[in-house]
Amino acid sequence: MKHIISALVQNQPGVLAHVAGMFAARAFNIDSLAVGRTEDPTLSRMTIVVVGDDRVVEQVRKQLGKIISVVKVQDFVGQDAVARDLMLISVCTPPEKRPEILALIEMFNAKVVDIGPKFVMVEVSGPENKIEAFIDACRPYGVRNVVRTGTVAMARYSRSQNS
Q: What is the mean pLDDT of the segment spanning 139-160? A: 88
> Strands 152-155 and 119-126: what pairing?
unpaired
What mean pLDDT is predicted for residues 135-143? 97
Domain boundary pick from 50, 75, 100: 75
pLDDT level of residue 8 (50, 70, 90 thresholds): very high
| Number of domains comprising the chain | 2
- pLDDT one-digit tens code per residue, 43-68: 999 999 998 888 888 888 898 988 99
Domain assignment present for residue 50? The answer is yes
Q: CB pairs under 8 A, 24+ apart, for 94-101?
A: 94/118, 97/141, 100/141, 101/138, 101/141
**Structural domain that includes position 118:** 83-153
Per this entry, what is the length of the chain?
Answer: 163
**Could you tell me if 48 and 100 lie in one domain?**
no
State the average pLDDT over residues 122-147: 96
158 pLDDT higher than 80: no
Looking at the structure, do residues 90 and 107 belong to the same domain, yes or no? yes
